[in-house]
Amino acid sequence: MDSAFFRMINSQPWIHGLLVLVLPSLGLTIVLMLMPPFNFKVVVLFIGSLVSGVVIYFSLLNSLVYRPSAIFEVLGATAPRQSFFFISFILTQGFAIRGFFNLVNPVMFFVYYLKGERARTPEGRDQASREIVPGYGYEVPTDTLALLLGLVFSVQNPLMPVAALLFFLTSGTVCRYNWIYVYHPRFQAGGTVWSNVSDQVLTIFLTFMIGYLQLIQASFQATLLLVPLAGVLLFWFNTKRQLGRPQRFLSLSEAATVDERLP
């Protein structure tokens, strides 16, 4: 029966293509949700997805069995081909997870419904609504990865910037709606997100391009990219030195404003 099922899938090109397009992006989405948040989560996902993509190309994978030193040639050949996989991943995240799921937000809605039903007074229902708090910390790696992929693969595939733009338009619209009408923030992050995202994206982007240019025997162009990479690293260290303490500790006036919002 299993063989008949697989024969049926292989006999229908549109089913086979749909599974190849959707299932890997759903798998990466599940991995992204299960991994605990940490600063270099996007680095692990980006590098891991690039390396694991070699498995898709069995003809190139077989060459590694007999010639392991060809790993760099294989990575150089397969990295540009993975742009369509990342496009499907970005669109899945943008429309399904960050779009529909965050707009409907069934978990928070269920919690609010239960607490609202138990509340006997308007103050109690208002208290229940204040339990809907943002969890943007878990979504930062997704935004970072979408921006990074839009930059890295924009040269190989002109559809990648379009997919990244659709992702940020959809997720940005839903995020603004939730922050204005739904969420009740309990603390301020002090602006730490922008520095982490921008510095990680620029550093990984330039490092990837240097490594990729080396793989395709473009050493001169790779050497030129060392100049902006050094500038990005200096900017990163300077940002941490000047803004590190203000971002870690809130001012008294901001802390008082946050306390006023709490019940």
Six token digits for residue 156:
């190989």
Q: Look at residue 165 in the predicted model and tell me its pLDDT.
A: 92
Q: Whole-angstrom Cα distance, residue 128 to residue 106?
A: 15
Q: What is the pLDDT of residues 63-93, one digit of tens each?
A: 555 655 555 555 556 666 677 778 887 888 8
Nearest partner of 162 among 170, 32, 193, 49, judged by Cα: 170
Q: Does residue 239 come out as left (phi exceeding 0), alpha (psi in the -120 to 50 range) or beta? A: alpha
Question: Any idea where the domains of the chain sit in the sequence?
Answer: 2-185
pLDDT at 144 over 60: yes
Q: What is the pLDDT of residues 206-254, one digit of tens each?
A: 887 887 787 777 888 889 988 988 988 888 888 778 777 776 676 666 6
* 0.75 exceeded by pTM: no
Q: What is the pLDDT of residues 93-112, one digit of tens each?
A: 888 878 888 887 777 777 77
pLDDT at 15 over 70: no
Per the model's pLDDT, the better-predicted residue between 156 and 121 turns out to be 156
Question: Strands, DSSP E only, in 146-236?
Answer: none
